[in-house]
Amino acid sequence: MPLRSINGIALSYDDHGAGEPVVLVAGTGAPGRFWRTHQVPALTRAGFRAITIDNRGVPPSDVCEEGFTLDDMVGDTVSLIEALGIGPCRIVGFSMGAIIVQEVMVARPDLIRQAVLMATRGRTDPLSAAASQAELDRLDDGVKLPPRYEAVVSVMKGFSRRTLNHEQTVRDWLDVFEMSPISSSVSRSQLAVDLIPNRLDAYREVPVDCLVLGFEDDLMTPPHLCREVAAHFPRGTYQEIAGCGHYGQLEEPAAVNAAIIGFFQKSRG
């Protein structure tokens, strides 16, 4: 996994396949390998080059214990695209990663050919604000959750009722999240990035084709927040994936991959 000196830090990324480049930006605390099981293989089979990023704050990228902002993370993504010489490129963001991508689209639309925004929002609603602040309070108080407890919370918040009703699937996901707890790589700064102001009006002049994917049973980013993002981008479209929660790309990867690749392939040739 190569490291690049970007904006005064070491930024880790991985590069898969060949063809037209697609940059994938993960959510809060998630490493770039988050995309490796489902999205990277689908993209490379479709003839794309998939580039995943370990955002600052997530090892082996620099942790940046002195703190950082959303603007810093936007600058990292912009600088990596420029350093790799791949702009204008396609880009995919999930949750916090989608917020980063939205701000890249505002700041440097010349670098983005098409964008897919998954489980996103353009403002902080009351529930998101309370959830982020509660996590910040926990970190500030030095409270560390046991991995098993954290796994239960992640699975309950992240998946649909359909999945939660399947006992063996629940056991499998509990094991995955207990072995790789998000808190092990989440930073206070990344949690603070989630507390964004209302940015919807800033999207109105962005000349980039974008697809916003909402997940029907998403408790963390309800679909209506995704729909309003799509409505504010002049070239935005909205698609909802049924039967999945916040981790829709893990729960319904075939449907999510088909939406992403179908959207990208429309502009080929």
* pLDDT attached to residue 65: 87
Lookup result for tokens 């981008």? 233
Q: Is 246 designated active site?
A: yes
Query: What are the C-alpha distances in Å from 218 to residues 79, 111, 145, 160, 214?
Result: 32, 30, 23, 7, 8
Under DSSP, is residue 120 helix (H, G, I), strand (E, B) or coil? coil
Cα 181 to Cα 30: distance, rounded to the nearest angstrom: 10
* pLDDT attached to residue 180: 79
Q: Is 194 designated active site?
A: no
The pTM for the full model equals 0.95
Confidence of residue 185 (pLDDT cuts 50, 70, 90): low
Among 194, 217, 232, 246, the one annotated catalytic: 246
Beta-ladder partners of 6? 9
Q: Which residues contact 221 (CB under 8 A, 6 or more apart)?
A: 95, 119, 120, 121, 128, 214, 215, 246
Tell whether the model's pLDDT for residue 87 goes beyond 90: yes
Q: Which residue has the higher pLDDT, 189 or 38?
A: 38
Averaged confidence pLDDT in the chain:
94
Query: Do residues 216 and 163 touch, judged by C-beta distance below 8 A?
Result: no
pLDDT (tens digit per residue) in 245-266:
999 999 999 999 999 999 999 8
Confidence of residue 203 (pLDDT cuts 50, 70, 90): very high
- The percent of residues in the chain predicted with pLDDT above 90, rounded, is 83
Confidence of residue 183 (pLDDT cuts 50, 70, 90): low
Among 61, 209, 218, 232, the one annotated catalytic: 218
pLDDT (tens digit per residue) in 115-150:
999 999 999 999 999 988 998 998 889 888 899 999
Q: Is 172 designated active site?
A: no
* pLDDT attached to residue 139: 86
Across residues 24-34, what is the average pLDDT? Answer: 92
Among 61, 95, 160, 189, the one annotated catalytic: 95
For the chain, the helix, strand and coil percentages under 3-state DSSP, each to the nearest 5:
45, 20, 35
Q: Which residue has the higher pLDDT, 81 or 142?
A: 81
